[in-house]
């Protein structure tokens, strides 16, 4: 068993244990393998271990990686999620190559993604990124502004609003980790009560996924615990 295969199984076991502890069905928590900074070989190794959904932060790196994976395994059907901050001049390749975008935080970006989504592709699945901890260094819309952005996205023909995403301020204690995740879940339920058909809470990473699962995460984004330390520093 390869290192990545072994790590994937360990992460899946942790997800299962966390879901069981929270009295949730493990199959309702999906694992997104964050492959940013790792090459096509690492993705293919994870694919051989059964992983099919991958998260990327940088569109140029991701598009090249997708092409390399496709060239190696043309018949392979993978799900690609964009999870990084989005610059206005980078929306076209994101709209054309990804299945999901987790990091929509303003109407301008959402509208560009919708306008630039190729007509022959299904609607782009999107999550609104919420700056739940109010950190200046983090992307995301303020909680009070989420309903207005959700209403705007709902009118865009080539987007499908699926839910919310958050990267809370790090905390070491599980009880403190759960607080912002509970706030996101509350906001999610408020939107559902307003008629939005949401099914996705993208929250929780390597160090806090247990707390996220306890508060209702449906997608956890895990990179380091699967692939190891990044191959190069973040941009």
Q: What is the CA angle 52-230-174, rounded to 5?
A: 80
What's the whole-number average pLDDT of the chain?
95
What is the DSSP annotation of 176-188? HHHHHHHHHHHHH
Distance in angstroms (rounded) separating the CA atoms of residues 227 and 16: 19
Other beta carbons less than 10 A from residue 198's beta carbon: 18
Q: Could you read off the pLDDT of 186-226 as tens digits, one per residue?
A: 999 999 999 999 999 999 999 999 999 999 999 999 999 99
What gap in Å lies between CA 206 and CA 130, rounded to an integer? Answer: 19
Predicted local confidence at residue 48, as pLDDT: 96
User: For domain 3-227, which CATH number applies: 3.40.350.10, 1.10.357.10, 3.20.20.10, 3.40.50.300?
Assistant: 3.20.20.10
pLDDT in tens, 60-77: 999 999 999 999 999 999
* C-alpha to C-alpha distance for 215 and 201, rounded to whole angstroms: 10
Count other Cβ atoms within 10 Å, centred on residue 183.
Answer: 17
pLDDT for res 1: 67
Average pLDDT over residues 12-29: 98
- In the predicted structure, residue 235 carries a pLDDT above the cut 50: no
Domain locations in the chain as residue ranges: 3-227
């Amino acid at each position: 068993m390869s290192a990545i295969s072994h790590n994937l199984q360990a992460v899946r076991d942790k997800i299962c244990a966390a879901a069981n502890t929270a009295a949730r069905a493990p199959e309702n928590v999906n694992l997104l393998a964050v492959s940013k900074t790792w090459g096509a070989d690492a993705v293919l190794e994870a694919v051989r271990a059964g992983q099919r959904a991958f998260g990327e932060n940088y569109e140029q790196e991701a598009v090249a990686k997708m092409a390399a994976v496709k060239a190696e395994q043309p018949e392979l059907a993978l799900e690609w999620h964009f999870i990084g901050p989005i610059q206005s001049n980078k929306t076209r390749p994101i709209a054309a190559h990804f299945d999901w975008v987790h990091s929509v935080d303003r109407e301008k970006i959402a509208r560009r993604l919708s306008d630039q989504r190729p007509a022959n592709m299904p609607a782009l699945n999107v999550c609104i990124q919420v700056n739940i901890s109010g950190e200046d260094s983090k992307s995301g819309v303020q909680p009070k502004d989420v309903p207005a952005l959700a209403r705007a996205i709902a009118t865009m023909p080539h987007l499908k609003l699926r839910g919310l995403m958050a990267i809370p301020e790090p905390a070491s204690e599980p009880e403190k980790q759960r607080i912002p995740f509970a706030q996101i879940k509350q906001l999610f339920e408020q939107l559902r009560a307003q008629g939005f058909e949401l099914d996705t809470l993208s929250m929780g990473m390597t160090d806090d996924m247990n707390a996220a699962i306890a508060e209702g995460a449906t997608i956890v984004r895990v990179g380091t615990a699967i692939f190891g330390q990044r191959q190069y520093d973040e941009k």
